[in-house]
Amino acid sequence: MIAVTIILVVVSVFSLLANADIPGAYIVKDSVANIEYYIIKAPISYVRSVFQEYVDLKVVYRENKRLKKSLDGYAGELAMNNVLTNELEEMKKLTGIKNLSTDYELKYTNIIERDANNWSNEVTINIGSNSDVTNGMAVITSKGMIGTVTKVTPVSSTVTLLTDENAKSQLPVMITDGSATYYGLLNSYNIKSKTFNVSILSTVDKIAKGASVTTSGLGGKGKSPKGLLVGTVTSFSSGDNATGKTVTVKPAANFDDLNYVAVVKRTDS
Protein backbone atom coordinates (compact mmCIF):
# COMPACT_ATOMS: atom_id res chain seq x y z
CA MET A 1 0.00 0.00 0.00
CA ILE A 2 2.87 2.39 0.80
CA ALA A 3 4.52 1.67 -2.55
CA VAL A 4 1.25 2.17 -4.42
CA THR A 5 0.60 5.46 -2.58
CA ILE A 6 4.07 6.75 -3.39
CA ILE A 7 3.66 5.82 -7.04
CA LEU A 8 0.28 7.57 -7.28
CA VAL A 9 1.60 10.73 -5.61
CA VAL A 10 4.71 10.87 -7.77
CA VAL A 11 2.76 10.31 -10.97
CA SER A 12 0.16 12.93 -10.03
CA VAL A 13 2.73 15.58 -9.08
CA PHE A 14 4.81 14.86 -12.15
CA SER A 15 1.73 15.13 -14.41
CA LEU A 16 0.71 18.47 -12.88
CA LEU A 17 4.20 19.91 -13.15
CA ALA A 18 4.68 18.65 -16.66
CA ASN A 19 1.76 20.80 -17.78
CA ALA A 20 2.54 23.77 -15.52
CA ASP A 21 4.74 26.63 -16.62
CA ILE A 22 5.88 28.12 -13.28
CA PRO A 23 9.26 29.31 -12.03
CA GLY A 24 11.38 26.55 -10.52
CA ALA A 25 9.13 23.83 -11.89
CA TYR A 26 12.10 22.00 -13.47
CA ILE A 27 13.74 21.71 -10.06
CA VAL A 28 10.67 20.01 -8.69
CA LYS A 29 10.49 17.81 -11.76
CA ASP A 30 14.10 16.67 -11.29
CA SER A 31 13.44 16.03 -7.62
CA VAL A 32 10.39 13.96 -8.44
CA ALA A 33 12.35 12.02 -11.06
CA ASN A 34 15.11 11.26 -8.56
CA ILE A 35 12.59 10.14 -5.97
CA GLU A 36 10.91 7.94 -8.58
CA TYR A 37 14.26 6.34 -9.49
CA TYR A 38 15.69 5.76 -6.01
CA ILE A 39 12.45 4.78 -4.29
CA ILE A 40 10.75 2.75 -7.04
CA LYS A 41 12.94 1.82 -10.02
CA ALA A 42 16.24 1.14 -8.26
CA PRO A 43 14.77 -1.19 -5.56
CA ILE A 44 12.73 -3.08 -8.17
CA SER A 45 15.80 -3.48 -10.41
CA TYR A 46 17.88 -4.67 -7.45
CA VAL A 47 15.28 -7.24 -6.38
CA ARG A 48 14.97 -8.46 -9.98
CA SER A 49 18.76 -8.93 -10.32
CA VAL A 50 18.98 -10.75 -6.98
CA PHE A 51 16.15 -13.06 -7.96
CA GLN A 52 17.78 -13.78 -11.36
CA GLU A 53 21.09 -14.59 -9.64
CA TYR A 54 19.25 -16.99 -7.34
CA VAL A 55 17.62 -18.72 -10.33
CA ASP A 56 20.98 -18.98 -12.12
CA LEU A 57 22.68 -20.42 -9.03
CA LYS A 58 19.90 -22.95 -8.64
CA VAL A 59 20.32 -24.08 -12.25
CA VAL A 60 24.09 -24.38 -11.80
CA TYR A 61 23.61 -26.37 -8.59
CA ARG A 62 21.27 -28.83 -10.31
CA GLU A 63 23.64 -29.18 -13.28
CA ASN A 64 26.63 -29.80 -11.01
CA LYS A 65 24.65 -32.39 -9.08
CA ARG A 66 23.71 -34.16 -12.32
CA LEU A 67 27.30 -34.06 -13.60
CA LYS A 68 28.64 -35.40 -10.30
CA LYS A 69 26.23 -38.31 -10.51
CA SER A 70 27.29 -38.98 -14.11
CA LEU A 71 30.97 -38.88 -13.18
CA ASP A 72 30.42 -41.29 -10.30
CA GLY A 73 28.74 -43.71 -12.69
CA TYR A 74 31.45 -43.17 -15.31
CA ALA A 75 34.19 -44.19 -12.88
CA GLY A 76 32.42 -47.47 -12.16
CA GLU A 77 31.80 -48.15 -15.85
CA LEU A 78 35.44 -47.40 -16.68
CA ALA A 79 36.65 -49.85 -14.08
CA MET A 80 34.27 -52.54 -15.35
CA ASN A 81 35.31 -51.84 -18.93
CA ASN A 82 38.97 -52.38 -18.02
CA VAL A 83 38.11 -55.70 -16.35
CA LEU A 84 36.08 -56.87 -19.36
CA THR A 85 38.82 -55.79 -21.77
CA ASN A 86 41.43 -57.82 -19.89
CA GLU A 87 39.14 -60.86 -19.77
CA LEU A 88 38.45 -60.54 -23.50
CA GLU A 89 42.16 -60.49 -24.30
CA GLU A 90 42.68 -63.60 -22.19
CA MET A 91 39.83 -65.38 -24.00
CA LYS A 92 41.36 -64.46 -27.38
CA LYS A 93 44.64 -66.02 -26.34
CA LEU A 94 42.94 -69.19 -25.12
CA THR A 95 40.79 -69.65 -28.23
CA GLY A 96 43.34 -68.45 -30.76
CA ILE A 97 40.99 -65.79 -32.12
CA LYS A 98 42.86 -62.67 -33.20
CA ASN A 99 39.99 -60.34 -33.97
CA LEU A 100 36.27 -60.09 -33.22
CA SER A 101 33.46 -58.41 -35.13
CA THR A 102 33.55 -55.64 -32.51
CA ASP A 103 37.20 -54.80 -33.21
CA TYR A 104 37.88 -51.90 -35.54
CA GLU A 105 40.23 -49.05 -36.39
CA LEU A 106 39.30 -45.45 -37.07
CA LYS A 107 40.54 -43.20 -39.85
CA TYR A 108 39.73 -39.60 -38.98
CA THR A 109 38.82 -37.14 -41.69
CA ASN A 110 36.43 -34.30 -42.51
CA ILE A 111 33.66 -33.56 -44.97
CA ILE A 112 34.77 -31.54 -47.98
CA GLU A 113 31.54 -31.42 -49.97
CA ARG A 114 27.82 -31.54 -49.25
CA ASP A 115 25.56 -30.60 -52.13
CA ALA A 116 22.43 -28.65 -51.19
CA ASN A 117 20.39 -30.71 -53.66
CA ASN A 118 21.51 -33.95 -51.98
CA TRP A 119 21.77 -32.61 -48.44
CA SER A 120 20.12 -35.63 -46.83
CA ASN A 121 21.57 -38.18 -49.24
CA GLU A 122 25.36 -38.02 -49.37
CA VAL A 123 28.58 -36.23 -48.43
CA THR A 124 32.16 -36.37 -49.68
CA ILE A 125 35.14 -36.97 -47.39
CA ASN A 126 38.79 -36.25 -48.17
CA ILE A 127 40.31 -39.74 -47.89
CA GLY A 128 40.03 -42.61 -50.34
CA SER A 129 41.73 -45.79 -51.53
CA ASN A 130 45.17 -44.32 -50.81
CA SER A 131 44.12 -44.50 -47.14
CA ASP A 132 42.75 -48.07 -47.49
CA VAL A 133 39.13 -46.92 -47.62
CA THR A 134 36.82 -49.37 -49.40
CA ASN A 135 33.13 -49.58 -50.27
CA GLY A 136 30.85 -50.65 -47.43
CA MET A 137 32.87 -49.17 -44.58
CA ALA A 138 30.85 -47.40 -41.91
CA VAL A 139 31.29 -43.69 -41.22
CA ILE A 140 30.61 -42.22 -37.78
CA THR A 141 30.71 -39.00 -35.80
CA SER A 142 31.40 -38.72 -32.09
CA LYS A 143 27.68 -39.32 -31.46
CA GLY A 144 26.89 -42.21 -33.76
CA MET A 145 26.85 -43.75 -37.23
CA ILE A 146 25.90 -41.51 -40.17
CA GLY A 147 26.33 -43.71 -43.26
CA THR A 148 28.48 -46.03 -45.37
CA VAL A 149 31.10 -45.50 -48.07
CA THR A 150 29.58 -46.16 -51.51
CA LYS A 151 32.13 -44.70 -53.92
CA VAL A 152 35.90 -44.46 -53.60
CA THR A 153 38.58 -42.55 -55.52
CA PRO A 154 42.28 -42.44 -54.60
CA VAL A 155 41.90 -39.21 -52.61
CA SER A 156 38.20 -38.96 -51.69
CA SER A 157 35.11 -41.03 -50.97
CA THR A 158 31.35 -40.62 -51.23
CA VAL A 159 29.34 -41.49 -48.13
CA THR A 160 25.68 -42.38 -48.52
CA LEU A 161 23.90 -41.14 -45.40
CA LEU A 162 21.43 -43.20 -43.40
CA THR A 163 18.96 -40.37 -44.00
CA ASP A 164 18.89 -41.04 -47.75
CA GLU A 165 15.24 -41.78 -48.55
CA ASN A 166 16.24 -43.55 -51.76
CA ALA A 167 18.86 -45.85 -50.22
CA LYS A 168 18.62 -49.38 -51.59
CA SER A 169 20.82 -51.17 -49.06
CA GLN A 170 19.63 -52.25 -45.62
CA LEU A 171 21.76 -51.90 -42.51
CA PRO A 172 21.76 -54.93 -40.15
CA VAL A 173 21.16 -53.71 -36.60
CA MET A 174 20.49 -55.12 -33.17
CA ILE A 175 18.27 -53.70 -30.44
CA THR A 176 19.30 -54.06 -26.82
CA ASP A 177 16.33 -53.91 -24.45
CA GLY A 178 17.60 -54.66 -20.95
CA SER A 179 19.17 -58.12 -21.08
CA ALA A 180 17.35 -59.05 -24.32
CA THR A 181 18.77 -58.56 -27.82
CA TYR A 182 16.71 -58.45 -31.01
CA TYR A 183 17.84 -58.21 -34.62
CA GLY A 184 16.47 -56.20 -37.50
CA LEU A 185 17.17 -54.22 -40.68
CA LEU A 186 17.25 -50.43 -40.93
CA ASN A 187 15.57 -49.94 -44.29
CA SER A 188 14.23 -46.39 -44.54
CA TYR A 189 14.20 -42.85 -43.16
CA ASN A 190 11.18 -40.63 -42.57
CA ILE A 191 12.21 -37.06 -43.35
CA LYS A 192 9.09 -35.59 -41.69
CA SER A 193 9.49 -37.31 -38.31
CA LYS A 194 13.30 -37.51 -38.68
CA THR A 195 13.32 -41.16 -37.60
CA PHE A 196 14.57 -44.45 -39.00
CA ASN A 197 12.30 -47.38 -39.71
CA VAL A 198 13.64 -50.78 -38.61
CA SER A 199 12.01 -54.09 -39.57
CA ILE A 200 12.26 -56.63 -36.76
CA LEU A 201 13.59 -60.08 -37.66
CA SER A 202 13.50 -61.58 -34.16
CA THR A 203 10.41 -62.91 -32.45
CA VAL A 204 9.28 -60.24 -30.00
CA ASP A 205 5.99 -58.89 -28.64
CA LYS A 206 7.23 -55.58 -27.25
CA ILE A 207 10.31 -53.36 -27.26
CA ALA A 208 10.62 -50.59 -24.71
CA LYS A 209 11.04 -46.96 -25.65
CA GLY A 210 14.65 -45.87 -25.24
CA ALA A 211 16.16 -49.25 -26.14
CA SER A 212 19.59 -48.88 -27.75
CA VAL A 213 20.00 -49.58 -31.48
CA THR A 214 23.49 -50.49 -32.75
CA THR A 215 25.01 -52.18 -35.76
CA SER A 216 24.92 -55.99 -35.50
CA GLY A 217 28.06 -56.70 -37.51
CA LEU A 218 26.14 -59.23 -39.63
CA GLY A 219 26.69 -57.38 -42.89
CA GLY A 220 29.87 -59.34 -43.56
CA LYS A 221 33.59 -58.65 -43.46
CA GLY A 222 34.62 -55.22 -44.63
CA LYS A 223 31.22 -53.80 -43.68
CA SER A 224 30.00 -52.19 -40.45
CA PRO A 225 31.46 -53.76 -37.31
CA LYS A 226 29.31 -54.72 -34.35
CA GLY A 227 28.38 -52.14 -31.73
CA LEU A 228 28.27 -48.79 -33.57
CA LEU A 229 25.52 -46.65 -32.08
CA VAL A 230 22.69 -45.83 -34.49
CA GLY A 231 20.00 -44.42 -32.19
CA THR A 232 17.28 -45.20 -29.67
CA VAL A 233 13.82 -46.69 -30.04
CA THR A 234 10.94 -44.20 -29.91
CA SER A 235 8.02 -46.55 -30.66
CA PHE A 236 7.15 -50.16 -31.44
CA SER A 237 4.52 -51.44 -33.87
CA SER A 238 3.32 -55.04 -33.98
CA GLY A 239 2.06 -54.46 -37.55
CA ASP A 240 0.20 -57.25 -39.33
CA ASN A 241 1.03 -60.35 -41.32
CA ALA A 242 1.89 -58.23 -44.37
CA THR A 243 4.11 -55.54 -42.85
CA GLY A 244 5.56 -57.35 -39.84
CA LYS A 245 6.85 -55.78 -36.65
CA THR A 246 8.77 -52.52 -36.81
CA VAL A 247 10.28 -49.88 -34.56
CA THR A 248 10.96 -46.22 -35.17
CA VAL A 249 14.40 -45.04 -34.12
CA LYS A 250 15.63 -41.57 -33.24
CA PRO A 251 19.13 -41.06 -34.75
CA ALA A 252 22.01 -40.62 -32.32
CA ALA A 253 23.98 -38.40 -34.73
CA ASN A 254 23.03 -34.86 -35.69
CA PHE A 255 22.73 -34.96 -39.49
CA ASP A 256 22.27 -31.20 -39.74
CA ASP A 257 25.76 -30.56 -38.39
CA LEU A 258 28.35 -32.84 -39.99
CA ASN A 259 31.97 -31.72 -40.13
CA TYR A 260 34.51 -34.12 -38.66
CA VAL A 261 33.93 -37.85 -39.12
CA ALA A 262 35.77 -41.17 -38.93
CA VAL A 263 35.79 -44.12 -41.30
CA VAL A 264 35.51 -47.46 -39.47
CA LYS A 265 37.66 -50.36 -40.64
CA ARG A 266 36.88 -53.80 -39.26
CA THR A 267 40.08 -55.50 -38.12
CA ASP A 268 38.62 -58.97 -38.75
CA SER A 269 38.39 -58.24 -42.48
Of 98, 129, 146, which residue sits at a domain end? 98
> Is the backbone of residue 132 left (phi > 0), alpha (psi -120 to 50) or beta?
left
CA of residue 63 relative to chain centroid, distance = 18
15 within a domain of the structure (yes/no)? no
> What is the per-residue pLDDT for 147?
94
Bridge partners of residue 213, in order along the sequence:
175, 231
Residues 142 and 59 in one domain: no
Residues 6+ apart with CB under 8 A from 91: 97
Is residue 257 within 8 A of residue 143, CB to CB? The reply is no
Bridge partners of residue 226, in order along the sequence:
216
19 within a domain of the structure (yes/no)? no
SS3 label, residue 106 = strand
Using pLDDT thresholds of 50, 70 and 90, give the confidence band for residue 244.
confident
Specify the CATH number for the domain of residue 242: 2.40.10.340
Is residue 172 within 8 A of residue 206, CB to CB? The reply is no
Residues 55 and 109 in one domain: no
Is residue 219 within 8 A of residue 172, CB to CB? The reply is yes
Is the whole-model pTM more than 0.75?
Answer: no
Using pLDDT thresholds of 50, 70 and 90, give the confidence band for residue 55.
confident
158 within a domain of the structure (yes/no)? yes
> What is the per-residue pLDDT for 97?
67
CA distance 254 to 29: 59
Residues 257 and 238 in one domain: yes
Residues 56 and 166 in one domain: no
> What is the per-residue pLDDT for 19?
56
Is residue 260 within 8 A of residue 112, CB to CB? The reply is no
Q: How many CA atoms lie within 13 A of 20 on its CB side?
A: 14
**Residue 8 is inside which H or E element, if any?**
helix 2-18
Residues 128 and 238 in one domain: yes
Which range marks the domain in which residue 253 is found? 102-268
Domain count, the chain: 2
Q: What would the pLDDT profile of 122-163 be if each residue is shown by its tens digit?
A: 999 999 999 999 999 999 999 999 999 999 999 999 999 999
Residues 206 and 241 in one domain: yes
Region of poorest pLDDT, from 37-41, 110-114, 131-135, 189-193: 37-41
192 within a domain of the structure (yes/no)? yes
159 within a domain of the structure (yes/no)? yes
> Is the backbone of residue 224 left (phi > 0), alpha (psi -120 to 50) or beta?
beta
Is residue 261 within 8 A of residue 139, CB to CB? The reply is yes
Residues 171 and 52 in one domain: no
Look at residue 22 and tell me whether its pLDDT is greater than 60. Answer: no
